[in-house]
Amino acid sequence: MDPLDNTIRPYAWGSTTAIPHLLGVEPTGEPQAEMWMGAHPGAPSRTPRGPLTEVIDETPEKELGAAAVAKFGPRLPFLLKLLAAGAPLSLQVHPDLAQAKEGYEDEERRGVPIDAPHRNYKDANHKPELICALTEFDGLCGFRTPSEAADLLAALEVDSLKPYVDLLHAHPEGAALREVLTAVLSADREQMAATVTEAAAACVRLGGAHAPYADLAHHYPGDPGVIAAMLLNHVRLQPGEALFLGAGVPHAYLNGLGVEIMANSDNVLRCGLTPKHVDVPELLRIVRFEASDPGVLRPEASPDGEEVYETPIDEFRLSRYVLVAGAPVHDLTLGTPQILLCTAGSVQAGEHALGPGRSVFVPAGEKAEVSGDGTVFRATVIA
């Protein structure tokens, strides 16, 4: 096993206290949004053998296992994070694998620089992701039914929103959601800013189901994404609960600390709540316009104590063990690569003592035994 030294990303939306509190260190006063664990080239974890990217590049089959290399190529196919939202993230959606390949190849062919602010596709991979709450965690996930969205908007009694309410009542589900999102994101910016300001005041007055949108407007005054967000389900996760976010599902994280795992990709199409580029035509090509339940996941327990968060993809598999002092040692040895992350208590992983926020990389086939009194998350792949 290799102990990991991980980079913390200081994105502006990050909490100033959540990750330092978990790590047991003093806050710096700066936002600490994400701690990355893995072999993403943007911020690879550091090991005693060197950056994890280089360790894997030198002997990919030894580190990842032959089955994983055959299925995903000579790279770690997932990225594990601690995510600490102190303010709402941008409203966004991710492409499926075919869309990502097509979009990446198109932008490459047109010579769009990889670091251009209007570039949509940084790679040719999809980005399904799973967020598991460590604290109470608020988010937006998937479309409400058009009738529910219409009721939420109508209650604001804002005249400029009435055409959207009528559209939501008048069309089949998919067409209604598409037409309203298109109209919101394509509207005159000054007129929409005035609408958002009026709607935000009504959200403050009404509270309840409208309260999350008042907070969005506080962080992003005048942003059309505030109205777009009202088309989505609001969900509050309790610790241990999770959300799976597949391709085409609009979503945003609002507040809280969680463990996030995703396919190793940077592909994001933004819908609002951001000063960054919003490519409306491409966004509309990617979004799945269908109402859905957020689908809160709770882990499925197995006889050996592993609690698995089941998802429909193979690039990652997330589970956790809640360990009790004096209980038998758990043998976690696998033929696939693993990252083990302690989030509570004290965990012994092989020869390494892990406190909250500490992690190790376990090469494929390496002995991996854990014990202690605490919680450890296990990230691996299905190969």
**Residues linked to residue 252 through DSSP beta bridges, in sequence order:** 140
Q: Considering 9, 119, 189, 270, which one is annotated as catalytic?
A: 270
- Reference 269, options 211, 328, 228; nearest CA is 228
Rounded CA separation 197/71 (Å): 50
Residue 270 annotated among the catalytic residues of the structure:
yes
Structure tokens at 168: 């939501």
Q: Which amino acid is residue 84, in one-letter code?
A: A
Rounded CA separation 109/176 (Å): 34
State the sign of the Cα–Cα–Cα–Cα dihedral 194, 200, 202, 204: negative
DSSP for residue 299: P
Distances 55 to 63, 109, 187, 230 between C-alpha atoms, Å = 8, 32, 50, 45
- Residue 299 near residue 309 (C-beta atoms within 8 A): yes
Rounded CA separation 124/97 (Å): 7
- Reference 247, options 112, 121, 97; nearest CA is 97
Distances 97 to 107, 174, 175 between C-alpha atoms, Å = 15, 22, 24
Q: Measured at the alpha carbon of residue 117, what is the angle toward residues 111 and 118, in degrees to the nearest 5?
A: 60
DSSP for residue 308: E
For the annotated catalytic residues, the residue numbers are 270
